[in-house]
Amino acid sequence: MARILFFGRLSDFAEAIEAPLPDGVRDTDALTAWLSRENARLGEALARPGVRVIVNNAFISAPLELSDTDEIAFTSPLSGG
Amino acid sequence: MGAPFTDIEIAAAPFDPEAAHADFRRRVDGAGAIVAFTGLVRGKTGDGEDVSRLTLQHYPGFTEKEITRIVSKASVRWPLVGSRIIHRTGDLESGEPIVFVATASIHRRAAFEAADFLMDYLKADAPFWKKETRGDNAMWIEPRAEDLIDKARWRDSEGDANARDQRDS
């Protein structure tokens, strides 16, 4: 099962998902596109500047191949402290 | 000197910074200086609007990992005896402590600078998401330009020293 998580502004539009990756989704770009098709408001939020993707506890800087054991988190800009 | 003592806590409930300071002091035997910073929830925005509530999210596991990475960077730069970070999550009200950073070193300069560095990096790089409620409106807070500038000043240590000299004069 892949786990897909949403943080910050993105969590207003989607709950965490625990499921096999959708058919044909093999990387983070394809997952972003699939999520955007399924949920238009989430899609708008994912298209805003500053959205980052974390795969298995590491920020990614380029599209990454995914498998059903991965944990993928989509985040809006960080604001701690 | 051995590896510095490090304690990182993500707190879902209110914490007592004075108790955290006292506890930290007991655990950093041999230190000659402790610097402790407590950040509080401001009751007003920069525009003077009242903030009724602040809600903080974190990413369990990943947030702790990233803070550990930030503390490791500080430990490379300064000879720390120890450091302690407490960061709140959940719902907070105006005036509540939101973050506590304490550093201990043999001498004061390292403790001051490491605490300052840790706060700048926590603001910019620690995985927290902050939502501010003003009346009936809630909005997610994004980093301000100043937060990124604060972090950037640590990139060039010589530039940092010059900037500090100018500020202190």
- Which residues have a Cβ under 8 Å from the Cβ of B128 and sit 6 or more positions away? A78, A79, A80, A81, B56, B57, B58, B63, B87, B89
**Pairwise CB contact (< 8 Å): A57 & B65:** yes
pLDDT over 70 at B161, yes or no: no
CA distance A48 to chain B (A): 12
- CB contacts < 8 A, A to B, total 65
> Residues of A at the B interface (Cβ-Cβ below 8 Å)?
5, 7-9, 11-12, 50, 54, 57, 73, 75-81
ipTM metric: 0.94
pLDDT exceeds cutoff 50 at B80: yes
Average pLDDT over residues B113-124: 95
> What backbone phi and psi angles, to 5 degrees, belong to B112?
-60, -50
For the ranges A43-57, B117-131, B148-162, the lowest mean pLDDT is seen at: B148-162
- Distant-in-sequence contacts of B48-51, Cβ < 8 A, 24+ apart: B49/B134, B50/B134, B50/B135, B51/B94, B51/B132, B51/B133, B51/B134
A77 contact residues in B (CB cutoff 8 A)? 142-143
SS (H, E, C) chain B: CCCCEEEEEEECCCCCHHHHHHHHHHHCCCCCEEEEEEEECCCECCCCCECCEEEEEECCCHHHHHHHHHHHHHHHHCCEEEEEEEEECEEECCCCEEEEEEEEECCHHHHHHHHHHHHHHHHHHCCEEEEEEECCEEEECCCCHHHHHHHHCCCCHHHHHHHHHHHHC
Name the band, by pLDDT with cuts 50, 70 and 90, for residue B146: confident
- B142 or A69: which leads in pLDDT: A69
Residue B164 has pLDDT above 80, yes or no: no
* pTM summary value: 0.89
Whether residue B62 and residue A73 make contact (CB cut-off 8 A), yes or no, is yes
